[in-house]
């Protein structure tokens, strides 16, 4: 795999402390030509699953050979292993705590390396900031083209976090809200594939809390302003939204992450 020279960063560090900049300084010290792109540093503290799903959504828009670093690392300094995952022609670097499960789940992988070779690390390794001391320098070396298999030992037992998938219950499909975006849209775990047999059917019913939606729209303005709708979003996931409004305001406490979303097909069950 050839490197693209691009590095992305996803962390729960926020933007007030100098932690992200320290990582960038180290990367540029090792590879002055690296181009660094922030995905987000606003992952809720310790939310491995959320960071993993964000990296999974974003990475495929970058050129093959990009190195994606994820640092949501509540077990730092303990026994969890530092790893590099090769998947879908990209590199993923971070803690072995399930962060890259969503990528491995959908893409498979072509190698997972337990990072052990200290010559690719900083000289001194703190017990609280491996993002700076291990992941940043490893990332920079990968972006220079160093063979990832030289950096440690192949493993085949990474920690796995299972993503919640919709399940069948009688004739309903039961899924959930997995992300609430900046616009108050509710992103669910129903994919276009789950729904495509029914997209043109008039018999679909989508329920979340007390709200019932009876069709899949194509754009936000398929419904009047202020009205709720469901559509397949730009990541091919079912999204609940309000035209020119915020679904989180409309639905209130009924709709946070984990809220149940039920799909029923009118001709397949009594309503």
Whether 233 and 160 have beta carbons less than 8 Å apart is answered as no
Applying CB under 8 A, the span of 99-107, 144-152, 165-173, 218-226 interacting with its own copies comes to: 218-226
When asked if residue 197 is in the footprint of its own copies (CB under 8 A), the reply is no
Q: Which residues pair with 240 in a beta bridge?
A: 186, 230
When asked if residue 29 is in the footprint of its own copies (CB under 8 A), the reply is yes
Side by side, which strands form the sheet with 111-115?
A: 35-40, 6-11, 67-71, 90-95, 82-87, 111-115, 152-154
When asked if residue 149 is in the footprint of its own copies (CB under 8 A), the reply is no
Nearest distance from residue 151's CB to its own copies, in Å? Answer: 21
Query: Could you tell me how many residues of this chain bind its own copies (CB under 8 A)?
Result: 65
Whether 132 and 71 have beta carbons less than 8 Å apart is answered as no
Give the three-state DSSP class for 154: strand
Smaller CB distance to its own copies: residue 62 or 198? 62
Phi, psi at 193, each rounded to 5°:
-65, -40
Angle value at C-alpha 74, between 116 and 99, nearest 5 degrees: 70
| Among 72, 76, 113, 230, interactor with its own copies by CB under 8 A | 76
Whether 125 and 82 have beta carbons less than 8 Å apart is answered as no
Report the number of secondary-structure helices (H) and strands (E) in the chain. 7, 15
Give the three-state DSSP class for 165: coil
When asked if residue 14 is in the footprint of its own copies (CB under 8 A), the reply is yes
Nearest distance from residue 157's CB to its own copies, in Å? Answer: 21
Nearest distance from residue 104's CB to its own copies, in Å? Answer: 18
Nearest distance from residue 30's CB to its own copies, in Å? Answer: 9
When asked if residue 192 is in the footprint of its own copies (CB under 8 A), the reply is no
Nearest to 50 by CA among 138, 179, 174: 179
d(CA 205, CA 172): 10
When asked if residue 211 is in the footprint of its own copies (CB under 8 A), the reply is no
| Among 70, 82, 94, 132, interactor with its own copies by CB under 8 A | 132
Nearest distance from residue 228's CB to its own copies, in Å? Answer: 15
For 234, residues 6+ apart whose C-beta sits below 8 A from its C-beta are none
Task: Give contact residues for its own copies (rule: CB under 8 A).
Answer: 4-6, 8, 12-19, 21-26, 28-29, 32, 35-42, 45-46, 54-55, 57-59, 61-63, 66, 74-78, 126-129, 132-133, 179, 181-183, 218-221, 231, 233-234, 239, 244, 246
């Amino acid at each position: 795999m050839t490197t693209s020279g691009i590095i992305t960063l996803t962390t729960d560090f926020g933007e007030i402390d100098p932690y992200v900049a320290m990582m960038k300084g180290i990367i540029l010290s090792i590879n002055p030509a690296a181009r660094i792109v922030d995905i987000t540093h606003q992952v809720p503290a310790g939310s491995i699953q959320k960071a993993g799903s964000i990296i999974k959504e974003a990475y495929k828009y970058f050129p093959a050979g990009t190195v994606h670093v994820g640092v949501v690392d509540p077990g730092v300094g303990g026994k969890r292993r530092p790893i590099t995952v090769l998947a879908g022609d990209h590199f993923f670097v971070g803690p072995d705590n399930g962060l890259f499960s969503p990528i491995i789940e959908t893409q498979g992988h072509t190698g997972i390396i337990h990072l052990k070779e200290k010559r690719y690390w900083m000289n001194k390794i703190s017990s609280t900031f491996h993002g700076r001391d291990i992941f940043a320098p490893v990332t920079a070396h990968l972006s220079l083209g160093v063979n990832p298999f030289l950096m440690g030992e192949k493993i085949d037992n990474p920690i796995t976090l299972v993503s919640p998938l919709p399940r069948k219950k009688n004739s309903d499909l039961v899924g959930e809200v997995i992300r609430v975006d900046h616009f108050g849209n509710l992103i669910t775990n129903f994919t276009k594939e789950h729904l495509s047999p029914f997209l043109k059917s008039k018999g679909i019913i989508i329920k979340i809390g007390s709200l019932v939606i009876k069709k899949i729209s194509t754009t936000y303005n398929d419904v009047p302003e202020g009205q709720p709708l469901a559509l397949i979003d730009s990541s091919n996931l079912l999204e609940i939204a309000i035209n020119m409004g915020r679904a989180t305001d409309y639905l209130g406490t009924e709709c946070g992450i984990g809220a149940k979303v039920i799909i029923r097909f009118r001709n397949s069950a009594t309503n």
